[in-house]
Structure 1
Amino acid sequence: MRTAFRAASPALLATVSAVALLSAAPSFAQEAPDEAATVDEIVVTGTRVPNRSRLDTLAPVDVVSAQSLQNRGTTEFATALAQSVPSLTFPRPSANDGSDSIRPATLRGLSPDQTLVLVNGTRRHASALVNTNGVVGRGSAAVDLNAIPTAALDRVEVLRDGASAQYGSDAIAGVVNLRLKEASSGGGASLTYGQYLTKVKTARGERDEEDGATTTASAWQGFALGDDGFLTLSAEYLNRESTNRSDYDPRAAANGAVTARFGDPDVEQWTVFANAGKGLGNGWEAYGWAGYQDRDSSGAAFPRLRDNVNNVAVLYPNGFLPKVAVNSKDASLAGGLRGVIAGWDADVSLVYGRNALDFRTEDSLNSTYGAASLTSFDSGSLIYDQLVLGADFSRQFEAGLAGGPLNLAWGLEQRWENYQIEAGQAESYNRGSLNFSPVTPTVALSGGAQGFPGFQPSNAVDVDRDNFAAYADIELPITDKLTLAGAVRFEDYSDFGDTQTGKLSGRYDFTPNFALRGSISTGFRAPSLQQSYFTSTSSVIQDGAVVETGTFPSVSPVGTALGGRPLKPETSTNYSLGAVVRLGAFDLTVDAYKIEIEDQIVLSELIRDPALLTPLGVQAARFFLNGVSTTTEGVDVVGRYRLPTETVGDFDFTVAANFNDVSLDTDLAPGLFGRQRILTIEEGTPDVKVSAGADWRLQKWGATLRATYYGDVLQPGSVAANDYRTGEKTVIDLEGRYQLTDRVGLAVGADNLFDEYPDATPASLNSNGVLGYPYNSPFGFNGRFVYARVNLTW
């Protein structure tokens, strides 16, 4: 366990002090700031009361505008959001199969699937991928945030509070609500090009790299649908080349070269979104949205040198580097009606979402086929989809309360889910006629495609479930200073039964400038179909016989033999207490929290028990199980100061910090859930993250300066001697902008201006040179990214 509230490092103090000095700058003669700087953002996440502002909520909500997400070099939505919200972390794992392409984000250091993602207030579907390797978020199946282009967004609201009683499963850490643009006119486009210009300093040497060239083109257009409707269309195309931050390979056959590829995968993707609303008369409105993304990415597995036992010299005389390619097709479609029924504001919606992942293993071989092996394989597919029917009702009642009318809301939801695994082509998983190496007959060859064996027919599944939910939510303004709120929710799942959650919140405004707020709630997260049914196996030779090793469902014969049981929901208790300060152009929120989670679902270690497994034709197995409890404690601090001046422009200063501590308790046997997994949960995300920024605008000129401090993160080994760390790091981003005309703007900048890296992986722990840096690094390990952007508006 670590201590999040230890003495701040010099880098942290420098970051905060810089913003404090900026905020305390002389008060230039002030003019009325523009509307965007003075209007407190209206939020809809975490409250069902209309016209509630960000600073008036009973729980902390961050609001990130689309413009803020775009004023930076990265065009990845999840990366930009993590740079804007300190409690959100988006690591960039590599050499981890599908996790290279579908990367999970974490809120407050919790599992990626413990944060609920909404689009326009409705549940977003998860990815079909289960993160099964040693990454942060191992064992989770989370929403792919990068399936939403920033061009389609108006803003993002991040509720940093438990909200299962309001929204259902997954909202243990909080809620991310993506609000789409609603424009009936106007439009815009942007073209961004950038690449990494960096000096890579790994443990065995230095080299200059110019890679990761990225081109992003996006556009949006609003159309009027009569006098009371809109249609907003948006599209984005992205092409990114791979990066490589591997160390030099010390093995004799490598001749001291860089043989691996450790970094971002190649990506080519295009995305389209549409959002629409149309009045129907009599106070009714029809609305809906649709989106589709096609992403093709290719990450690298570990290299096979020419003397590798599984290499076939006829095919690869110099060895080979297998690629794991993933094609993700992500689709969503929603429609609904809003209006008034018997005095109740009603909203009925139907939302469908689907994610299909097709795997290919390329630049590879199946060594058991020898020289006759294919070099490219269809390795199978993962598919997840869900359909959600929801009905929400709310109404305000004059109850004689001094603070105003009470707000009562209730609703019903029915959800259907399906999960499938489809087998790859036979050569991707089969064993050919060769069982042992022709060169070393005592050494068994690995079956299936090297780098990523295909899913076998025995892995194929097609399962579904449904659940029903009902909730009630009330907010009571007792006086003009005191507001209380409560929510209860009932859910019934077809596979594990029912659960109930509740929440109580309160806020007291001592003065217009100062308020206290707090809440206590219970929460839950249902085991996903992916966790319940994912299976992936490969064939190996044991004592001359073919046996399987891999991941099995907990209720399969293999899982049951090892002690597996049907998965049950994770449960949580959340506590929060915070303060809100408003002093003119300055506002500050400080919110402390404690999250206790029981029965957390984790993926076990690979277990080898010949007595139990050999009769089942299995050599080694792992499975999902409940059995981990965590306690997360922390504090979020968010401050903002807006300073308009007559002579030197308008300034917007922000500082936001997250101090977070995760501790884990488990009575599972060490062989069932090991040291690396425990420490990744406790120390795999930063205990301190501070972001300080300044936006400046003067006539046609503008600039953004941002500094982000990341606390030390652990990359744990199986024993303490194999641990290594990222170190405490501060990353500086800078962008300058110039408006050529009313319609054309230019921007140039650098993310990670001073080319900061995490501490390199020690040479003694990197025998093949693959892992140049810790892949748990919360800001990645690519170095300086320079870019230019052209913006058009009309």
Structure 2
Amino acid sequence: MKSPKLIILFYLFIVSQNLFSQTKIINGIVKDAADQSPIPGVNVVIKGTTQGASTDADGKFSLQAPSDAKILIVSFIGYTTKEVAIPPSGNITVELYQGISQMDEVVVSVGRGVQRTTTDTPVPVDILKATELQETGQFTFDKALQYKVPSFNTVQTPVNDATSLLDPYEIRNMGPSRTLILINGKRKNLSSLLYTQTSPGRGETGADISAIPTDAIKRVEILRDGASAQYGSDAIAGVMNIILKDASDAGSFNVRTGITSEGDGEMIGISLNNGSSIFKEGFINYTVGFKKVELANRPGRVDALGEATDFLNGTAEDVARVNQFLALKPDAGNINGSPETATANFLVNSGINISENTELYFNAAYVYKKVNSFANYRTPYWRQLADAPYLQDFFPNGPNGSYVGYVPTFEGDLNDYNATLGLTTTKNKWKFDLSFTTGGNQQTYSVNNTHNANSVLSPITHDDLDGDGVIDDGELLPGVNLYRENSPINFDPGGTRFSHNVGNIDIFRAINSKLTIGFGSEFRNELFTVIEGELASYDGGGSDSFAGNRPENSGTFSRYNLGGYVDLSYDITNNFLINATARVENYSDFGNAFVYKFSSRYKLLDDKVTIRASYSTGFRAPTLHQIYTQKAQYSFVPGQGIQVGGLVNNVSPQARLLGIPELEAENSINFTAGFGTQLSRQFNITLDYYNIAVKDRIVLSTEIGGTEAGDTELDAVLQANNLSDVSFFVNAIDTRTSGIDLVAAYADLPVGRGFLDMSLAGNYTIQNEREGAVKNLQLVEDAGQSVVNFTQEALFFTSRPEMKYILGLNYQLNKFGFALNNTYFGKATFRQQGMNPGLKTEFIPKIVTDLAINYDLTENLSASFNVNNLFNVLPEWEFVALTQAGQEILDNPADRKVQSNLITFNQRYSQMTYDGYHFSQLGTIFAFALTLDL
């Protein structure tokens, strides 16, 4: 039954409230140290806990504290945080000095010189504390960002294959490969996975951020501006800098559990974060975590007529045959949703002061992830006994051992690591930062419960039976069919591996109070390996559902690059700042790149208003994955089921035959302009406009099929490799993306006996489209096709919400904390492959509401309860007619159903269509956590 699992969660929450300790009352007042005026809305928290209070309009507070409480932490926007001892009397007066506060932290991702606070930055930056991410109740770091950062989006596809190991994400609709990920300011390695499914992110790769434990994160800085001049390739859309915890005297132990309202997707996780002092003046902070998430399945009810039409002849007899199977499995046996996942992560961050001016720092992380997912179910009318009688013996899965099809499984193992060792020192006012970073990601796969259906004969054997020295016709023996009835059912298809080593030298100095100069250099080498699969996984076409890597497509590929930059920052006046950065890079495989950036900000009205703008050029080097990946690709073709296509790399003999050019770097121009205002200590707003133009954008082409004549070079390549189509990477299009980001916050508003924080953050896409014509190859033009069709353009430009905003309310009442977040996912549009060109599909705007309740049980123990998607809102889409012919289809229920079947694989993916969705299809999710502060 489902209900006992929910009852257990509530029971744990209720029982835990019995853990109380003796208390005492603390009364106090907080004043401005300069003018002795009372400060309302100040946060007063008992150190080591989340238990606290806020000052009222007269600056006063009253707090019930454990009898052994010793220290209060007092903080407020615009003031320096202060720790004060609790006097025996319980009465206290605290004076705060104006300075950098919790909401005005030093930002390290803006530039490479002397860092500035958020109010000083000439470009927009989001800062998220780890507590904000944890309060979302989401199970992974990337999904937590989805519900905290409007311009950040991630998507999950219905049938996952390798994509199940990490979902594609992006900022500002620019794809995962155009946001650079940093750990403590140093470049994190890319994943080895190349997204090749028909979904957002197709043809790209990104760093694996999903498994980074939020318990190890101090804060996250998201620079929403082009930053190639500062950091090099991949920073066209912006930079995400993950700052690790560095506390030496604090830690926590967490136990988390969760379940969906459907009773599946159970999650259990434990993690430990702790720190200690080492040597004379040093720290070490470490995190260990383990997590298991069970399968959550959300299949649709399959349409019999669509199945009979796709896989048989569509007759009434065929429909009856399909219905006989669907009576046993209404969802056609498909398993799609959220796969079973197990994760273990280990992370350490350390710093040691060697001398007064020198610090040695080190951080390292290792993540292991195991994912069990499934391919599309092979129905008995799709994989028929008439064609392969041996399937009856392989898969006796039905009643009385009958053959009713089979579902291939896909298991993936991911290993990801990164480490940095560095030294900072100061000499003659020059600050030096020297570091070495290494990182890697390996993904290997297993394909089980399937077979190799191809006829491949072993070499013909023979023997001179009569001893005459001649092999006669009667002495020839036929070869044995290696597969089909002799096929294995478990396969090792290989995998991929990526690694890099990065050396950095950064030098900067404040020449005086106005001028700062910085310069440095980076050397990086990269290795990409395609791991060969076993013979049976690729031979003759390979294992059904996922073919292995062939020897000729496998191997290790490498490159290196050397870059250098110079950065100047000048405060013309106390209010007027200008900044300029230039960078040059040399890549061993495609040549040079030169980029630059100018930015400025001006403060008005006693620093209450800041106007800022930037203009930059950028570049993105083609990844080794894009240059060297070549393989057979199983994919769903609407109306035709699963087909095998070929991905041809740009340096192969086939590429030369087809006239496919080698890849070049993308180039970009990025402009931002906006303003920020802090009308009071509690209220602030920022509004920023961005405009990003990308030239020679690299795309994975659409599937290019054969011609009607069947006698071209393209046809020859397809026929020689037994492929239905071919795709490849190409610098195909120029694009422009523009929009507006809004962030507004009001803190510490007195409401009743507590205080309310309110925030509104939003992103609106003004323009996201192709500029100019598609740059087609001549061979493709001659075949009357295009490397980018309307399906591809929908994935690039309209498949993310046109508008997304997050309204957050947080209320603190003594030991209780309440959070209510509403995330609006605006319209998103698809134009799926195979659908009538007179139609498109639109995801209907939805609001997803999340509720979080926190309670301090004791001084060191707190509990939290989250209900994500409180009102069980699910993705919904609808058809929209683009032409009169399209409208006529929608007016005819039978024609409309045909189109619906085409894009949902006959209703297998009715909530999302084959291309994915924008928020969870799992519905309501309950989560409970206990946190013990150490």
Shift, 1:726, TM fit: 1.7
Shift, 1:537, TM fit: 2.1
Shift, 1:28, TM fit: 6.8
Residues 249-648 of structure 1 mapped to structure 2, 5 A cutoff = 249-251=302-304, 252=322, 253-255=325-327, 257-258=330-331, 259-309=333-383, 312-316=391-395, 317-368=403-454, 369-398=483-512, 404-431=513-540, 447-511=541-605, 512-537=607-632, 549-584=645-680, 585-609=682-706, 610=710, 611-613=712-714, 615-616=716-717, 617-618=720-721, 619=723, 620-645=725-750, 648=753
Q: Distance in 2 between matches of 1:167 and 1:667?
A: 30
Change (3 A) 1:73 1:646: closer
Shift, 1:494, TM fit: 0.3
Q: Distance in 2 between matches of 1:539 and 1:686?
A: 28
Q: Distance in 2 between matches of 1:389 and 1:474?
A: 22
Shift, 1:772, TM fit: 2.5
Residue by residue over 1:281-331, the C-alpha shift from the partner in whole angstroms, topping out at 9 and shown as x without a partner, is 141111111111110002221110123236722212221111222110001
Q: Distance in 2 between matches of 1:720 and 1:124?
A: 42
Change (3 A) 1:32 1:612: farther
Q: Which amino acid aligns with 1:533?
A: Y
Residue of structure 2 in register with 1:179 after alignment: 243
Contact 2:684-2:746 at 8 Å conserved across structures: yes
Q: Which amino acid aligns with 2:519?
A: W
Q: Distance in 2 between matches of 1:313 and 1:714?
A: 43
Shift, 1:605, TM fit: 1.6
Q: Which amino acid aligns with 1:56?
A: D
Q: Which amino acid aligns with 1:329?
A: N
Q: Distance in 2 between matches of 1:329 and 1:267?
A: 14
Shift, 1:111, TM fit: 1.3
Q: Distance in 2 between matches of 1:751 and 1:548?
A: 39
Within the alignment, does 1:753 sit opposite 2:870 as a pair? yes
Shift, 1:195, TM fit: 1.2
Unaligned stretches of 5+ residues in structure 1: 1-26, 198-208, 399-403, 432-446, 541-546
Within the alignment, does 1:740 sit opposite 2:847 as a pair? no
User: Which of 1 and 2 has greater Rg?
Assistant: 2
Q: Which amino acid aligns with 1:221?
A: N
| Corresponding residue to 2:762 among 657, 670, 681 | 657
| Corresponding residue to 2:816 among 701, 704, 708 | 701
Shift, 1:760, TM fit: 5.3
Residue by residue over 1:37-83, the C-alpha shift from the partner in whole angstroms, topping out at 9 and shown as x without a partner, is 55112211113454521122110000000011111221200010121
Q: Distance in 2 between matches of 1:559 and 1:97?
A: 27
Q: Which amino acid aligns with 2:373?
A: G
Q: Distance in 1 between matches of 2:845 and 2:126?
A: 25
Q: Which amino acid aligns with 1:769?
A: Q
Q: Distance in 2 between matches of 1:82 and 1:165?
A: 27
| Corresponding residue to 1:216 among 269, 282, 286 | 269
Change (3 A) 1:301 1:32: farther
The more displaced of 370-379 and 746-755 is 370-379
TM-score scaled by length of structure 2: 0.76
* 1:313 alignment partner, SS class: helix
Residue of structure 1 in register with 2:907 after alignment: 769
Shift, 1:461, TM fit: 2.3
Q: Which amino acid aligns with 2:210?
A: N
Residue of structure 1 in register with 2:45 after alignment: none
Within the alignment, does 1:668 sit opposite 2:754 as a pair? no
Shift, 1:502, TM fit: 0.3
Shift, 1:721, TM fit: 5.0
Shift, 1:644, TM fit: 4.9
Unaligned stretches of 5+ residues in structure 2: 1-54, 62-73, 79-100, 305-321, 396-402, 455-482, 636-642, 777-784, 879-896
* 1:637 alignment partner, SS class: strand
Residue of structure 1 in register with 2:195 after alignment: 131
Within the alignment, does 1:243 sit opposite 2:338 as a pair? no
The more displaced of 457-466 and 361-370 is 361-370
Q: Distance in 2 between matches of 1:793 and 1:630?
A: 49
Contact 1:692-1:707 at 8 Å conserved across structures: yes
RCO higher in structure (CA 8 A, sep ≥6): 1
The more displaced of 355-364 and 313-322 is 313-322
Q: Distance in 2 between matches of 1:644 and 1:227?
A: 44
Contact 1:346-1:392 at 8 Å conserved across structures: yes
Residue of structure 2 in register with 1:206 after alignment: none
Contact 1:46-1:159 at 8 Å conserved across structures: yes
Change (3 A) 1:462 1:32: farther
Shift, 1:496, TM fit: 0.4
Change (3 A) 1:565 1:50: same
* 1:561 alignment partner, SS class: helix
Contact 2:113-2:509 at 8 Å conserved across structures: no
Q: Which amino acid aligns with 1:575?
A: F
Change (3 A) 1:30 1:554: farther
Shift, 1:342, TM fit: 3.8
Residue by residue over 1:204-233, the C-alpha shift from the partner in whole angstroms, topping out at 9 and shown as x without a partner, is xxxxx3211111211111011123101111
Residue of structure 2 in register with 1:443 after alignment: none
Shift, 1:646, TM fit: 8.5
Contact 2:211-2:343 at 8 Å conserved across structures: no
Q: Which amino acid aligns with 2:920?
A: G
